[in-house]
Chains A and B, each alone.
Chain A
Amino acid sequence: DTGVSQDPRHKITKRGQNVTFRCDPISEHNRLYWYRQTLGQGPEFLTYFQNEAQLEKSRLLSDRFSAERPKGSFSTLEIQRTEQGDSAMYLCASSLEPGQGYSQPQHFGDGTRLSIL
């Protein structure tokens, strides 16, 4: 399977701990996106990369959150000092670079479900 892969699928941790998630995009995709989804809601955009450059961050991405894509391939999303409100599904997506006037669909992984005790 050459789709977007996320690891781990589930993470349970105590409040105040740090957690890190990994995303492996489709290999030829230079765009990589992170979203967060809480129960009953649609996904919300967090940030995206083009190759290794982080080009946009949502105001949802507080200073406890940091995302990296060091070699323009896989990406990590770290949450420091986790809080109850961080409990959610964290989704990664990748795409080819869109162009002006044409679309490139985003391909999503199945997410990492984070539960804060």
Chain B
Amino acid sequence: DAKTTQPNSMESNEEEPVHLPCNHSTISGTDYIHWYRQLPSQGPEYVIHGLTSNVNNRMASLAIAEDRKSSTLILHRATLRDAAVYYCILRDYFNFGNEKLTFGTGTRLTIIP
């Protein structure tokens, strides 16, 4: 499986934008980029996913580099509730049978009030 690399931790001030980077230099053409987050004492929560184009939803935006070797999850206005571990995961949707999510250690995001 293609691997992702994320910083271990990041800090951001409340009400400011947050940019969480992810490197995936060995990404294949059929790998989708997924982001999940895990709040303390909870299971992971789906955030967003994309293939080539930038994506927006109510939670966040996903910016994907033109060569697809890196991506950035953008939280437009961080709140204390966004303090969590954020996981960047690649999933190949053209490879039936590859259904599992392969989590790394993620980025622990701390929000400073």
Q: Which residue of A lies closest to B105 (CB)?
A: A42
**CB atoms of A100 and B91 under 8 A apart:** no
**CB atoms of A48 and B100 under 8 A apart:** yes
Residues of A within 8 A of B94 (CB): 100-101
Min C-beta distance of A68 to chain B, whole Å? 18
Interface size, chain A (Cβ < 8 Å): 29
**CB atoms of B43 and A4 under 8 A apart:** yes
How far does the alpha carbon of A83 sit from the alpha carbon of B41 in the complex, in Å?
Answer: 23
**CB atoms of A100 and B41 under 8 A apart:** no
Choice from A56, A101, A103 contacting B34 with Cβ under 8 Å: A103
How far does the alpha carbon of A93 sit from the alpha carbon of B100 in the complex, in Å?
Answer: 11
Choice from B41, B44, B96, B100 contacting A108 with Cβ under 8 Å: B44
Q: What 1/0 mask marks residues of chain B from 89 to 107 whose CB sits below 8 Å from any chain A CB?
A: 0010110110111111110
How far does the alpha carbon of A35 sit from the alpha carbon of B44 in the complex, in Å?
Answer: 11
How far does the alpha carbon of A15 sit from the alpha carbon of B101 in the complex, in Å?
Answer: 30
User: Is A21 an interface position by the 8 A CB rule?
Assistant: no
Known A4-B43, A110-B42: A56·B100 in contact at CB below 8 Å: yes
User: Is A98 an interface position by the 8 A CB rule?
Assistant: yes
Min C-beta distance of A39 to chain B, whole Å? 11
**CB atoms of B32 and A45 under 8 A apart:** no
Known A103-B49, A108-B44: A42·B99 in contact at CB below 8 Å: no
How far does the alpha carbon of A58 sit from the alpha carbon of B84 in the complex, in Å?
Answer: 27
**CB atoms of A91 and B44 under 8 A apart:** yes
Known A42-B106, A103-B49, A103-B91: A33·B100 in contact at CB below 8 Å: yes
Known A42-B103, A43-B103, A45-B100: A108·B91 in contact at CB below 8 Å: no
Q: Which residue of A lies closest to B93 (CB)?
A: A101
Residues of A within 8 A of B44 (CB): 43, 91, 93, 106, 108
Name 15 A/B residue pairs within 8 A (Cβ), A-sorted. A45-B102, A48-B100, A56-B100, A58-B100, A91-B43, A91-B44, A93-B43, A98-B93, A99-B93, A103-B91, A105-B49, A106-B46, A108-B43, A108-B44, A110-B41
Known: A33-B100, A45-B100, A105-B46. 8 other contacts (CB 8 A): A33-B99, A35-B101, A41-B105, A42-B103, A43-B101, A98-B93, A99-B93, A109-B43
